[in-house]
Amino acid sequence: MAIETRKEKMDHMFALMEEVRVLVGRLEEHEDIAPAIRQLNYRVDELKKELTLNKYELEKDREESNIIETS
């Protein structure tokens, strides 16, 4: 399922943020969910960036990230 519109991205981001909130509340019972919380937070950050940057800036940022990762 591709997220196409700005509204869909925002809805998805808010749903992920709510899921993080719920999982953080369960951390004491289930310490093994910490990596999942980190990954969800990373995805929220990605969506925030996508919503902030225009298409040109986003492509440039991704290219720079790829250069750093391969170095």
- Containing structural domain, residue 43: 6-70
CA–CA distances in Å: residue 23 to residues 12, 28, 52, 64, 65: 16, 10, 26, 32, 29
- As a whole number, mean pLDDT of residues 37-60 equals 86
Q: How high is the mean pLDDT of the chain?
A: 86
Question: Which of 10, 66, 13 has its CA nearest to residue 44?
Answer: 13
Question: Does residue 21 lie in a domain region?
Answer: yes
Q: Evaluate whether residue 1 is within a structural domain.
A: no
Within a domain: 19: yes
pLDDT at residue 40, as a whole number:
98
Residue 53 included in any domain: yes
| pTM for the structure as a whole | 0.70
Tell me: pLDDT of 58 over 70.
no
Per residue in 9-24, pLDDT tens?
999 999 999 999 999 9
